[in-house]
Chains A and B, each alone.
Chain A
Amino acid sequence: MGNPNVGKSVVFNRLSGLNVVSSNYAGTTINFSKTFVFLTKDKKVELIDVPGTYTLKPTNEAEKVAVEILKEGDVVLNVIDATNLERNLFLTMQLISFKKPLVVVLNMWDETKHKGINIDVKKISDILGVPVIPICALSGEGIKKLSLAIKDAAVSSYISESFEKLDNLFIWRKIGKIISDAQKLHYRHHNLWQRISDFSIHPIWGLFFALFTLYGSFKIIRFIGEGLIGYVFDPFFQNILTPLLMKLSALLGSGGFLHQILIGKLINGQIDYFQSFGVLTSGFYVPIAAVLPYVISFYFVLSVLEDSGYLPRLAVLVDSIFHKLGLHGYAIIPTLLGFGCNVPGILATRILEDKRQRFVVSTLISIAVPCVAMQAMILNVLGKYGFKYVISVYGVLFIVWIVIGLILSKFKKGDTPELFIEIPPYRFPSFKVLSKKLYFRVKGFLLEALPIVLGGILVVNLLYSLNIFQYIADFTAPVITILMGLPKNAVIAIIMGFLRKDIAMGMLLTNPMTLKQLFISTIVLSMTFPCIATFVVLWKELGWKKTVYSILIMSLTAVFVGSILHLIL
């Protein structure tokens, strides 16, 4: 346990060899993870990674989880940011009053040295009467010692009062005693990081910095993504797989039921990986060659932003704008995560204090934040006609995001708590942590996406041959054709968006469409009801009533915006 952003998850990963996502901002861990670890050869214990909390009097969901888990634990590993000893000890004192065996872990030990902080570890250990272990979790220094020290965990008698009787002033006095005995400071001011930090939260320069960073991020994502597609994935499919698949196609007689399912439709006698729509053609090409490269590049950039410590600064900068939507600046973090995948985005809304904000942010993410798979397809498909169409999609979604945000803040009134967060120092992202995080996010994408895409295409082809889609298309034709000016079969793609938005986008292409129709249907597809994974997580996080409400808002907005675009374009 420990304060937010002290590196509990990194310690957890080190001790367990597991890979829980860690970042450089408060609130990365919103639920607990647990695992069994061997401390020594024959000693096996269950280790629980707990969300960060400043106090045992919880103020948000994640902190409530932390307090609940504390009640179950037998030994508490209290992870402390050694560069912020005084503040971190507040929780330590509260933990001591719970009378559980304790080990104090002084993390970020390496940073104390160049920040001019001198801590007498032995003295703290003597005062508290518990093991105190300095470590550097990022590099792994001290972890071995820590795992050996767990068995020595002791109940401290430094504070004898029970938790209920503790008074803050008393705690600070007790902490003051430790600090004056065991810590000496020789601050060194203003290094380069500090200067960048001041610059990036400056109300005016900071905004330029933010625009520049976001623009740069987008450029890098496209550069890496397009590079991977152009030089690696697409050549692989075209040069190696296409000849094989064409042979198979000939073998199957270039048509028939099995051909339709495996290869799909031949376009001018050739396989077209976007339009053929067979399990072996589009089924593999869409997730692997069209989407995966962007998943890699997006998560690379996002991970760098996360680990550097920039995101909380961005939250501070956008706070006054976000308040107009009844949200506070921290809502930018779930929103940015949502651009990767809506699921972690919606889960991350737990760092917001109240239910109203969580509903609003979750709904806004589902409507106006396309996930990376969807964005990759937008780039692949609309990008062909010109980049301005891609930008226009983002523009429309951004306007929708603001308008729906304003409307929701009028209808769902509530007092938005003000921003009150710790800003972590900038850190140079650790290559090891970064590559591990990237690896697990990419693996997660493949495990989740591939089966659904392959299965989805199979089902689509079966349903096609059963003509079921025809009934649906005829039934919804008035809305789709008259209001939004789309071919009536576009509805099938939109319905398939419930499975995954990237296959749905691929399906749109199987209909002959004008550029205008493609543009409108892309936007409608992004906004309308969420994919199944997002749906499940909305349900779990908001409850069924609010989920239904949220989906109604999405569908109505989609139809409304689709119709408006049809009128004005």
Chain B
Amino acid sequence: MVKKITELRSKESARVISIEGGQNFKEKLNTLGIREDIKIKKVSDSFLRGPIVIKINLMEIAIGWRMASKILVQTDFLK
């Protein structure tokens, strides 16, 4: 099932399937290793639309809410 990172539950894992936005935006995400086809895990939810925290491998990254809502992920890839 495809959803936005912001819609994931806390502690849920997913695979990034697409990033909506311009080249600059993708470039920015790319520098921290967020790109299509990688596995992420949501660590903590946001408060008042504050940033959410995700984990890639051992690295935790905080992403602003609006940015995070442009990252689409798939949760049933494990099955």
A contact set with B: CB distance below 8 Å: 54-55, 57, 59, 83-84, 86-87, 90, 115, 117, 168, 172, 185, 187, 197-198, 201-204, 206-207, 312, 315-317, 319-320, 323, 328-329, 417-423, 425
Contact = CB atoms under 8 A, between A and B. Distances in A.
B46 A203 contact: yes
Given A55-B31, A316-B50, A203 B62 contact: no
Contact of B30 (A168, A315, A317, A320): A168
A86 B33 contact: yes
A83 B55 CA distance: 13
Interface in B29-51: 29-33, 35, 43-51
B8 interface: no
B45 A419 contact: no
B51 A59 contact: no
Given A319-B51, A423-B60, A198 B33 contact: no
Given A319-B50, A320-B50, 17 more contacts: A54-B32, A57-B27, A168-B35, A172-B35, A203-B44, A203-B45, A203-B47, A204-B47, A316-B53, A317-B50, A320-B49, A418-B64, A420-B29, A420-B61, A420-B67, A422-B32, A422-B60
B44 A418 contact: no
Contacts of B33: 86-87, 90
A423 B50 contact: no
Nearest to A328: B64
B35 A201 contact: no
B63 A419 contact: yes
A54 B29 CA distance: 10
Query: Which of the four size classes fits the interface of chain B?
Result: 20 to 34
A90 B49 CA distance: 30
A197 B37 CA distance: 26
A27 to B, nearest CB: 14
B42 to A, nearest CB: 11
B78 interface: no
B65 to A, nearest CB: 7
B79 interface: no
> For A57, A84, A87, which residue has the most chain B Cβ atoms within 10 angstroms?
A87
A319 B58 CA distance: 23
Majority-rule SS of B interface residues:
mixed
A172 to B, nearest CB: 7
Contact of B59 (A84, A168, A207, A323): A84
A418 B60 contact: no
Interface of B: 27-33, 35, 43-51, 53, 56-67
A423 B44 contact: no
A197 B43 CA distance: 10
Contacts of B32: 54, 87, 420, 422
Nearest to A318: B50
B63 A418 contact: yes
A194 to B, nearest CB: 10
Given A90-B33, A419-B51, A419-B64, A198 B59 contact: no
Contacts of A57: 27
Contacts of B29: 420
Contacts of A422: 32, 59-62
A484 B24 CA distance: 52
B37 to A, nearest CB: 9
Contact of A419 (B35, B47, B48, B62): B62
A226 B6 CA distance: 47
A421 B46 contact: no
Contacts of A117: 58
A256 to B, nearest CB: 64
Contacts of B46: 203, 320
B7 to A, nearest CB: 16
Nearest to B26: A168
B26 to A, nearest CB: 8
B13 to A, nearest CB: 12
B47 A197 contact: no
A138 to B, nearest CB: 18
Nearest to A329: B51
A84 B56 CA distance: 10
A203 to B, nearest CB: 3
A313 B30 CA distance: 22
Contact of A312 (B57, B62, B64): B62
B65 A418 contact: yes
A423 B46 CA distance: 15
A539 to B, nearest CB: 31
A87 B59 contact: yes
